[in-house]
Amino acid sequence: MIQAPTKTTDLLAVTGLGVAYGDPAAPVRAVVDVDLTVGRGESVGIVGESGSGKSTLLRALLGLHGSGAAVSGGIAVDGVQLAHDPAAMRRVRGGTVSMVFQDPVNAFNPAYTLGSQLGRLVALHRPELGREQRRAHVAAMLDRVGIPAHRTRSHPFEFSQGQLQRCMIAAAFLAGRPALVLADEPTTSLDVTVEAQIVELIRDLRAELGMSMVLVTHNLGLVADLCDRVHVMYAGRFVEHTTIRGLFDSPAHPYTRALLKSAPDLDRVRESRGSRLPTMRGGVPDLAAPPPGCPFAPRCDEHLGEVCDRDLPELLPVPLMPAARTAHGTAPAGQASDTLPRPGDVRARCHRHAASALSGGTAVEGVKA
């Protein structure tokens, strides 16, 4: 379900967020001018290739960007502004907003048993529980994610990666009562079979507890499985915002289309064995010295000429287009992804759309199928 985001009920409202590293005179701008809203119970995906700034963005949301970074813009959770209030930010962490990390092996302290690490979080976020209740709660948490309760006495190095990611999910979803979980590539470090179990676990927990989620990933399948709508990120900026159906059926931005094309797809691989998977040429631009125009221009297959190299396009609403089947085919059948995008849902940062919006034209032309 796409909930129409209204200003009052937004759980998370990010406005004009920027994260810059290094020398203030010549900063590396990892995240630039990002607007993001997440409603209650909603799940939003952020996709992009590595180095696009998506993980930096996610960490900045909780103030975990490290001392070398300068953060600008606004981050409001439940209407409370956190961006420049470290104390408020700390109050939110773990309790209201928690996080699932990419690499569970390094995200647990190697020196302590799992039980003591989870117990500490429960003590922090549910201070009303006594010692025994706390222990019972930790056991119940582990049980819920499929880890036998007796393993509370084991140290992190005694678990497999998949087991640790289950524990990480227990910590993020069950230790406090989070209204929002930020997930940073939660399955990237896992085997394919384990990945499916983890996806299922996350989906079940969300269905049960109803919390919102922001999912950062480069895996389009994961977005289709777990998200309601999606932002596509490139070189620190959002370049497209769309629904899941919109992402797969009618991607608006050339970068999104390229991303879809270069994603391996079992069906296609089977049909065209031996032929090469399309790849995107070039790499992510140098964030310390980004090109003056559209950051994607140097790699763009649908380049319009001078305007693309000169001006940075705005993120503008894209007129609805007929559901054009892309090379990737229709979206995998997800629960929430069946809805077709409605007017205003799809926005893209591309001169092509700006031009067509001005001329009141219809759909995007020249989409290469």
Partner 1 sequence: MIRMTLLRLAQAVPVLFAVSLIAFALLRTAPGDPAITLAGVGASQEQVDAIRHELHLDRSLPEQYVLWLQEALSGDLGDSYTTRQPVTELLADRFPATVQLALTALVLVIVIAVPLGVLAALRRGGAADHLVRILSLGGLAVPSFVLGMGFVLLFGWYVTGVWPYQGFVAYGTDPVEAFRHLLLPALALAFPQIGVVARTTRSGMLDVLSQEYITAARAFGVPERRVVAADALRNALLPVVTQLGVVTGLLLGGSVIVENVFGINGMGSLLVASFGERNYSVTVGVMLVIALVFVLVNLAVDLLYGAIDPRIRAGYRKGEA
The DSSP call for residue 20 is E
Tell me the DSSP string of 127-151.
Answer: TTS-HHHHHHHHHHHHHHTT--GGG
CB of 157 to partner 1, least distance (A): 5
Q: Which of 99, 223, 244, 297 binds partner 1 (CB under 8 A)?
A: 99
CB of 155 to partner 1, least distance (A): 4
Q: Point out which span in 27-35, 99-107, 192-200, 360-368 binds partner 1 (CB under 8 A).
A: 99-107
2 vs 123, beta carbon nearer partner 1: 123
- 75 contact partners, CB below 8 Å, separation of at least 6: 12, 13, 14, 17, 60, 61, 81, 82, 83
Mask of contacts with partner 1, 102-131, x by CB under 8 A? Answer: -x--xxxxxxxx------xx--xx------
Number of helices followed by number of strands (H, E) in the chain: 13, 12
Answer yes or no whether residue 64 interacts with partner 1 by CB under 8 A.
yes
Mask of contacts with partner 1, 174-213, x by CB under 8 A? Answer: -xx-------------------------------------
Which residue type is seen at 114? L
90 vs 150, beta carbon nearer partner 1: 90
| Look-up of token digits 């952020």 | 46
CB of 55 to partner 1, least distance (A): 11
Mask of contacts with partner 1, 208-247, x by CB under 8 A? Answer: ----------------------------------------
Answer yes or no whether residue 59 interacts with partner 1 by CB under 8 A.
yes
Burial class (CB in 10 A: 0-12, 13-18, 19+), 357: middle
Q: Report how far residue 203's alpha carbon sits from residue 327's, in angstroms, rounded to the nearest whole number.
A: 28
Q: Report how far residue 236's alpha carbon sits from residue 287's, in angstroms, rounded to the nearest whole number.
A: 8
176 vs 246, beta carbon nearer partner 1: 176
Identify whether the C-beta of residue 291 lies closer than 8 Å to the C-beta of residue 297: yes
68 vs 264, beta carbon nearer partner 1: 68
86 vs 210, beta carbon nearer partner 1: 86
- List residues bridging with 91 in a β-sheet: none
Q: Report how far residue 320's alpha carbon sits from residue 325's, in angstroms, rounded to the nearest whole number.
A: 14
Q: Which of 73, 94, 236, 341 binds partner 1 (CB under 8 A)?
A: 94
- List residues bridging with 29 in a β-sheet: 20
172 vs 198, beta carbon nearer partner 1: 172
| Look-up of token digits 């992804």 | 337
- Residues in 253-282 that interact with partner 1 by CB under 8 A: none
Answer yes or no whether residue 158 interacts with partner 1 by CB under 8 A.
yes
Q: Which of 52, 56, 98, 219 binds partner 1 (CB under 8 A)?
A: 98
CB of 62 to partner 1, least distance (A): 6
Q: Report how far residue 215's alpha carbon sits from residue 222's, in angstroms, rounded to the nearest whole number.
A: 9
CB of 181 to partner 1, least distance (A): 11
The number of residues that bind partner 1 (CB under 8 A) is 32
CB of 220 to partner 1, least distance (A): 25
Q: Which of 101, 159, 238, 255 binds partner 1 (CB under 8 A)?
A: 101
Enclosing H/E stretch for 80: strand 80-81
- 96 contact partners, CB below 8 Å, separation of at least 6: 77, 78, 176, 178, 179, 180
66 vs 79, beta carbon nearer partner 1: 66
Identify whether the C-beta of residue 351 lies closer than 8 Å to the C-beta of residue 308: yes
Q: Report how far residue 198's alpha carbon sits from residue 166's, in angstroms, rounded to the nearest whole number.
A: 7
Q: Which of 47, 138, 147, 171 binds partner 1 (CB under 8 A)?
A: 171
Give the footprint of partner 1 on this chain (CB under 8 A). Answer: 59, 62, 64, 90-95, 98-99, 101, 103, 106-113, 120-121, 124-125, 155, 157-158, 171-172, 175-176
